[in-house]
Chains A and B, each alone.
Chain A
Amino acid sequence: MIELENLTKHYTKGALTTEVLRGVSLRIQKGEFVAIMGASGTGKSTLMNILGGLDQPTSGSYRLDGVDMARAGDDELSRIRNQKIGFVFQQFNLLDRADALRNVMLPLIYSDDDAGSAARAEEALAAVGLAARKHHHPSELSGGEQQRVAIARALITNPAVILADEPTGNLDSRNGLEVLAVFQRLHREGRTLVLITHDSGLAEHTRRMILLQDGRVASDVAVPQPRDAAAELARLAPTAVAKQPELPAT
C-alpha cells in the first residue's frame, strides 16, 4: 500500500540547507492502523505532507497504491489526494458557512465521480454516527463531532488510506476518545489508517508504532495490547455514547 524507500527531504533557505528527512524506509500494508510518532522537529509533519501528496521528497521513492508519487505532476497529485487519500487535520478544517452534509460533499466537487453525492455524504455521516446532524453547521457541533464530520469527509471518496495529523490535538479526552473509537471501528472494517502524533496515549490505540528521530526511523514496533477507545469511553460515562454530549466547540 505505502512503500517508502530511502526517502529524504531537504529544505534550502538561502545558503542554509536543513535535512529534515534523512532516509526513511518503511512499508505499510493495506488494512494496517499505524501511528507515526516523534517529538516536534523530527520530521513527522514533513513525512505526513509527503505521504499525503502535498509535498515531494528531495530523493528516494514513494509508491502509494502502486503509483509513483515522487514523479507525479501537480495535477496528478491533486487527483491522487482526491481519490486515494483522506485527510483528517488537527484543526478539523471545516467550512463554517456550509452544513455538515455540504462539508462532507466537498471532495466530490473535485472528483469526476460525483454521482449521488448527497446520498454518499449521508452514508459517510452515518458511518461516524452523525446522521442526525447533517444540517448542523460546524459552529453548532462539539469539537468531537466536528472532527467526526471531518472523518466523514475523508471517507466519502473511499480512499486507499486515511491520514490523520494530530486528530485529537484540539479535543478534550472525551471527544478525543470518541474520535479514536471511530478510527478503531474503521480499522475493524478493513481501512488503512495512519496517525501522526506526538502523543503516546493516542498511539497506544493503534496496532503499530513507528518512532521518528532526527529524520530517521528509530523504532518500528507492534503495539502489544492496543487500548479500546469505546470501552474507555463507556467507563468514563456509561451513557455518553447514547446521549451525544453537547460540548462547546473548541
Chain B
Amino acid sequence: MADRRRKPPPPLPLHLSRNAILSCQILAARKLRTLLSMTGVVVGVGAVILMVSVGRGAEKRVLDRIHSMGTDLLIVNAAPARLMIGRERTVATVTTLTPADAQAIREECRGVVAVTPAVNKSLVVIWEGNNRTTTITGMAAEGFHIRNVVPGSGRLFDADEDHSRQRVAILGPTVASSLFPGNDPVGCQIRIGGVPFSVIGVTQARGVDANGIDQDDIIMVPLETAMHRLLNIPYVHSIYVQARDIPSMPRVESDVRALLRERQRVPPGRPDSFTIQNQINLLKTEHEAARSMTLLIGSVAGIALLVGGVGILAVMLMTVRERTHEIGLRRALGARRRDIQTQFLIEAALLSGAGGLLGVFAGVLAASATAAFGLSDTILSWPAAAIGFAFSVTIGLVFGLYPALRAARLEPIAALRFE
C-alpha cells in the first residue's frame, strides 16, 4: 500500500487557478444540480440580508424618533409613576408641582439650559361646526426650543404674549388638517373648551413619540393663558428640563430629583411624589429591542445558511462518489492527494459562493420590494451583504472539507476499478 515514509514539506497548491477553471467547467456542465444544491445557501444569504435590512430599518425609525423629541430632555411629571400595560404612566391628578418649582430648577440646578412648565388637558376644539377632541398644552415660549417645535406656517407665540395671557393657539398638523380640511387655519378663530382663541401658526410635523402618541395631535397655547383663562389651576402637570448635553443628564436628573424632594418635603426613604422621565432611557430600551430583533432574525437566517451548508455537503459527497473513477484517473495521471482535495474544496466553495452571490442579489431585491410595498422600512446593509457572501464561501469550505478529504483519501487503484 502507498505509505509515506518520506514526506516532503507541503508546497503551496500550485495549480489553484487551473483547478478553479476545471471546477467551473464541471459545475457548468451540471446546471440543474448546481442550481438545486445552491438553493439552501441562496435562501440563507438572501434571508440574512433581508432580515438585517428590515431590522436596521426599525432601528433607524427609533433613532429618528429620539432625534425628533430632543434627546437631552427630562420630563418631570407631577404624579408618582404606576405601571400600566407594561409602561410607567402617571395617573392621579397631583397639584403639588408649580411654576415656582420650574423657576427653582432653572436657578439651582447646574447643567440646565432651559426649563418650561407645562399643563395638559384634553378639550373639545370647535371651528365652524368641525369639532375635535385634542390635547391642549400650555407652555412657556422657552418650551418651543426644548421640544423642537418649529413653525410650518404662521408664527409661534412669545414670552410677552404668555405673560399677558393672550388667547393665541398653535396647531399641530394633525389637528390643522382635521379641523380645517383644505383651509389655512392661520388667522382663524377657534373655540377651545368654549374659550375663543385665534390661530397664529401651524407647527411642522414631529411624528410619533416613544409612547406611540401622535405629537402632531396637539394645540399649544401660552402657559399663563392655559392656567388662568382655560383651566383655572394654580399648578402645572409637568416641567420640561433641557440639559446642557447628554453626558450631563444623569447628574441633572439627580439634582432635579433632590431639589424637588426637598421643595416638596418628601421624607428620606419615601418614594418620590413626582416622576422624572428620561427620554433616552425609554428609547434606549426600544433601541435595544430593535437591535436584539435584528440579531434574532439574523441568527435564524444564519441557521438557514447552515442548512444550506448541509445541502452542499450532501451534493459534494454525491459528486465525489459519482466521480470516483475520474479521481482514480487523475491520481494515475499524477494528481497528488492535495490536488484532488483542492479541486473539490474549490468546487464546494464555488458552489456556495455562487449561491451566496445569488443570495445577495435575492436579498437586496427582496429588501427593496419590502420597502417598495411599504411593509417595512429597510436599510440595505452592505457589510451584511459582504458578511453573508463571505459566510457562504466559508460554509462551502467547511462543509466541502469532508467530501474533499474523502476524495483525496481514495486509493488510486481502488478508485480506478470503481464503476
B-binding residues in A (CB < 8 A): 49, 52, 54-56, 71-79, 81-83, 87, 89, 93, 95, 97-98, 106-107, 109-112, 114, 153, 157
- Of all chain B residues, which has the CB nearest A77? B2
Please tell me which one of the listed residues A49, A72, A111, A114 contacts residue B6 in the complex, with CB atoms under 8 A apart: A72
Query: A56-B2, A93-B325, A97-B25 known; A87 and B335 CB under 8 Å?
Result: no
- Of all chain B residues, which has the CB nearest A93? B329
A-binding residues in B (CB < 8 A): 1-8, 10, 14-15, 18-19, 22, 25-26, 29, 325-326, 329-339, 412-413, 416
Give 22 A-B contacts (CB < 8 Å), ordered by A residue. A52-B332, A54-B331, A55-B413, A56-B1, A73-B7, A75-B7, A75-B337, A76-B6, A78-B331, A78-B337, A79-B334, A81-B331, A81-B333, A87-B333, A97-B26, A106-B330, A109-B19, A109-B335, A110-B333, A111-B334, A153-B333, A157-B334
**Listed residue (B2, B14, B19, B22) with the most chain A CB atoms within 10 angstroms of its CB:** B2
Please tell me which one of the listed residues B14, B325, B326, B334 contacts residue A78 in the complex, with CB atoms under 8 A apart: B334
When distances are taken between beta carbons in the complex, the residues of chain B under 8 Å from A109 are: 15, 18-19, 22, 335, 339
Q: Is the CB of B332 within 8 A of A81?
A: yes
Q: Is the CB of B333 within 8 A of A107?
A: yes
When distances are taken between beta carbons in the complex, the residues of chain B under 8 Å from A95 are: 326, 329
Closest 9 CB pairs of A and B: A82-B334, A110-B334, A78-B336, A73-B4, A107-B333, A73-B6, A93-B329, A110-B335, A81-B334
* Closest CB in chain A relative to B212 CB, distance in Å: 62
When distances are taken between beta carbons in the complex, the residues of chain A under 8 Å from B338 are: 75
A109–B5 CA distance with the chains assembled, in angstroms: 26
- Of all chain A residues, which has the CB nearest B338? A75
When distances are taken between beta carbons in the complex, the residues of chain B under 8 Å from A93 are: 325, 329, 332, 416
Q: Is the CB of B325 within 8 A of A74?
A: no
A203–B337 CA distance with the chains assembled, in angstroms: 35
Please tell me which one of the listed residues B5, B7, B325, B416 contacts residue A71 in the complex, with CB atoms under 8 A apart: B5
With contacts A93-B332, A95-B329 known, what are 19 further pairs, Cβ within 8 A? A54-B413, A56-B2, A56-B3, A73-B4, A73-B6, A73-B7, A74-B4, A75-B4, A78-B339, A82-B334, A89-B416, A106-B330, A107-B334, A109-B22, A110-B15, A110-B334, A110-B336, A110-B339, A153-B333
* Closest CB in chain B relative to A169 CB, distance in Å: 14
- Of all chain A residues, which has the CB nearest B25? A97
Q: Is the CB of A71 within 8 A of B2?
A: no
* Closest CB in chain B relative to A131 CB, distance in Å: 22
Please tell me which one of the listed residues A56, A97, A153 contacts residue B29 in the complex, with CB atoms under 8 A apart: A97
A79–B330 CA distance with the chains assembled, in angstroms: 12
Query: A78-B331, A109-B15 known; A55 and B2 CB under 8 Å?
Result: yes
Q: Is the CB of B2 within 8 A of A87?
A: no
When distances are taken between beta carbons in the complex, the residues of chain B under 8 Å from A97 are: 25-26, 29
